[in-house]
Structures are given as structure tokens and as C-alpha cells.
Amino acid sequence: MHVGLEHYLTVSFLLFALGLLGVIMRRNLIVIYMSLELMLNAANLALVAFSRFNNKLDGQVLVFFIITVAAAEVAVGLALIVALYRRRQSAHVEDLTSMKL
């Protein structure tokens, strides 16, 4: 079977949808965080696929950027979650509603 661009994009879409569902549905911050990473990687997959099928390297360059930013984001985000947990003794989103009036 020939594997074309549409197959890659379908996988990418499924990954993105799963990640989004995780962000919206899951309650634990760590899991939400992992779901976010999943969405980023879905975007990466789509970019790499476009790059391969269009014979251009632009998409791959963008992927490098995304990976770098994601790494930094993980460092900062995890630190925030740890600090939050120490203060509130909880990492559940429903406990973190102090923005509500």
C-alpha cells in the first residue's frame, strides 16, 4: 500500500484531537501538560510530512524551533506545577479557581 500525505495528516489530526480532548477533559495538571505536548508533536508531524512531500526544508526548520521551545516550556511549566503543588497540596484544575470573581 502506498503511504501518501493524507495518511500522515490523518495521524497528525488524530494525535491533535486526542491531545485537545486530554487538555479539556483531564483533571490532573501533569496529564494536561502531557496532552499539550501531544498537540505540539501532532503539529510537528504535520510539518515534517508537508516538508517531505513538497521537497522543501522550511517545515523541518520550523519543527526544530518547536522542539526547542517545547523543551524550554517543559522546564518552566514543570517548575510552575511543582511550585503550585507545594503551595496548594494539589495539582487538580478544579482546585485552582482563584481567578473567579
The residues binding another protein (CB under 8 A) are 20, 23-25, 32, 93-94, 96-101
Are the C-beta atoms of residues 22 and 38 closer than 8 Å to each other? yes
CA 14 to CA 7: how far, in whole Å?
11
Q: Identify which of residues 5 and 93 has a Cβ nearer to another protein in the complex.
A: 93
Residues with Cβ within 8 Å of residue 22, at least 6 apart in sequence: 31, 32, 34, 35, 38
CB of 89 to another protein, least distance (A): 18
CB of 56 to another protein, least distance (A): 24
Q: Identify which of residues 57 and 93 has a Cβ nearer to another protein in the complex.
A: 93
